[in-house]
Amino acid sequence: MGILSGLFHSRDKPKDSTNGSNYRFLFGGTTSGNRVTEQSAMQMTAVYACVRILSEAIAGLPLHLYHYTETGSKEKAIKHPLYFLLHDEPNPEMTSFVFRETMMTHLLLYGNAYSQIIRNGKGEVIGLYPLMPNRMTVDRDDKGQIYYQYLVSDSDAPTMKEGTVNLKKEDVLHIPGLGFDGLVGYSPIAMAKNAIGLSIATEEYGAKFFANGATPGGILEYPGTVKDPDRVRESWNKGFSGRNSHKVAILEEGMKYTPISISPNEAQFLETRKFQIDEIARIFRIPPHMVGDLEKSSFSNIEQQSLEFVKYTLEPWLMRWEQSINRALLSPNEKSTYFVKFNVDGLLRGDYQSRMSGYATARQNGWMSANDIRELENLDLIPVEEGGNLYLINGNMTKLADAGIFAKGGKEQSDEEVLEVEEPDESEGTDNGEDVVSQRDNRRGKLV
């Protein structure tokens, strides 16, 4: 019972990843000896590239609010006040692109993205302001209801007073990342701190190596006793390291300099740096060619990798965004008729030849008009009176209702029923039965 009570107590009070949660010890020092935080990780080019790629991709996609019509089709809810906030300006201080880019950066670095929801007297959403995840704590009250505790600073938007503010869950748009309890996400940077720490260590090694003129350390040999070795070492480093490297050294009194030759290849320096780029790209599920590693990319597979980026990398993030927005920003009555959706068609368009082939198939089969195609290609629409909205099909195709048995109400007729019609007397007006057979076949062809 003690174990169970402790388990339920831990779930009753979930903590944010940057505010004393039970995995907070993962931040900070690493096995490599380098301290890894969200800020220090962004100094790595591979981490910066991955975060920038994902945040700009999410921010650049069109985001629309839709609603279902009486016929069951969907159309953009342009007149809804939430449409303008999501598509254009979530608040007077930033555009939709900047807002989503900021929120996605928080989500990738801290594992959570928070935004304060501003409502009017009617309960309608009139503003969204991003909140820093490292100053947010998630907790439960005595009744088990989730609330958010935020530490306000003077750099935040003037929507809250300075100090610690408690926010209801209805007042916070929370997009959690991957986590253990479904309430709070865990930071990818904290979970992969050793991989990032190794990258930082190899980068620092390379920087120091080239700062020393790409010359490894060495040994100063003196035939006698050195009275002040520290002074001799400092004098040597000052005169022949950094910007003074490769200068001609003059040694006195039998002193000799013996370099320690350890090449970067022997220390696997370059291989380690290259592998760590792939390691960081693996954390964020980014194709290596998008962070500048083209070793395993070619003309034949790079397009397929780009499509896989949309399907396996972007779509899970888009689902988190869409479902979180629908849950937090739509009222219970609106959730049955309104929904938010990202448009990824632009990323899946492919090359020009593939698009034209797909458009031709859609046009010939009647499920896209000329204006539908021109709108996707950002071309001016053809006026309606000139047939821009017409849906066409090939002439050898017909409706199912006009074909075969369906033309007669859907009742199948046997050959006997087809022949049970008024037939002319074979003995009247004919010398043989050829005309009668011809009339029967014609009549039968009309019925079948």
Q: Are 322 and 342 in contact (CB under 8 A)?
A: yes
- Say which DSSP state 393 is in: -
Q: Say how far apart CA 249 and CA 257 lie, in whole Å.
A: 9
The DSSP bridge pattern shows strands 136-140 and 125-131 to be unpaired
What DSSP string runs through 253-308?
A: TT-EEEE----TTTTTHHHHHHHHHHHHHHHHT--GGGGT--TT--TTTHHHHHHH
- The pLDDT value recorded for residue 326 is 95
Last residue of a domain, one of 314, 332, 348: 348
H helices of 95-159, where?
96-110
Q: Are residues 69 and 165 in the same domain?
A: yes
Q: Is residue 154 in a domain?
A: yes
12, 101: one domain: yes
Q: Is residue 406 part of a domain?
A: no
* 205 and 56 co-located in one domain: yes
Domain annotation covers residue 315: yes
- Cα separation, 307 vs 350, in Å, equals 9
Which residues of the chain have a pLDDT value below 70? 1-33, 208-229, 232-233, 235-255, 257-270, 297-300, 346, 349-351, 397-398, 400, 403-448
Token pair in block for residue 267: 């220390």
Domain contains 405: no
Whole-number pLDDT of residue 317: 95
209 and 236 assigned to the same domain: no
Cα 98 to chain centroid, rounded: 15
Structure tokens at 127: 């503003």
Task: Using the structure block, give the residue that is written with the tokens 């620092």.
Answer: 204
Are residues 254 and 146 part of one domain? Answer: no
Letter string b/e over residues 57-72, b meaning 16 or more CB atoms within 10 A of that residue's CB = bbbebebbbbbeeeee
Q: Are 348 and 307 in contact (CB under 8 A)?
A: yes
Q: Is residue 407, in this structure, part of any structural domain at all?
A: no
Instruction: Tell me if 194 is assigned to some domain.
Output: yes
Q: How many CB atoms lie within 10 A of CB 364?
A: 13
| Structural domains in the chain (count) | 4
Domain boundary among 260, 291, 325: 260
Does residue 404 fall inside a structural domain? no
In the prediction, which pLDDT does 19 show?
38
| Residue 99, pLDDT score | 97
Per the CB < 8 A criterion, the answer to whether 58 and 317 are in contact is yes
Whether residue 245 is found in the same domain as residue 121: no
Res 58: pLDDT: 94
CB neighbours of residue 119 within 10 Å: 13
Residues 133, 63, single domain; the answer is yes
State the pLDDT at residue 276.
82
Q: What angle do CA 349, 94, 60 make, to 5 degrees?
A: 10
Among 403, 374, 369, 407, residue whose Cα is nearest residue 389: 369
402 in a structural domain? no
Cβ–Cβ under 8 Å, residues 409 and 402: no
Say what the pTM is: 0.69
Shared-domain flag, residues 203 and 167: yes
| Domain interval for residue 426 | 412-447
Would you state the pLDDT for residue 15?
39
- Lookup: tokens for 241: 């390291």
- Strands in 311-391 per DSSP E: 338-342
Beta strands at 112-119 and 172-176: parallel, antiparallel or unpaired: antiparallel
Quick one: 224 and 108 in the same domain? no
On whether both 310 and 436 belong to a single domain, the answer is no
DSSP state of 91: B
Looking at residue 27, its pLDDT comes to 55
8 Å CB contact between 259 and 215: yes
What is the pLDDT, as a whole number, of residue 288?
Answer: 84
Residues 134 and 227 in one domain: no
Residue where a domain terminates, one of 310, 327, 348:
348
Report whether 245 contacts 210 (CB < 8 A): no
Rg (CA), the chain: 36
Under a CB-based contact definition with an 8 Å cutoff, are residues 55 and 108 in contact?
yes
One domain, residues 95 and 222: no
DSSP designation for 95: -
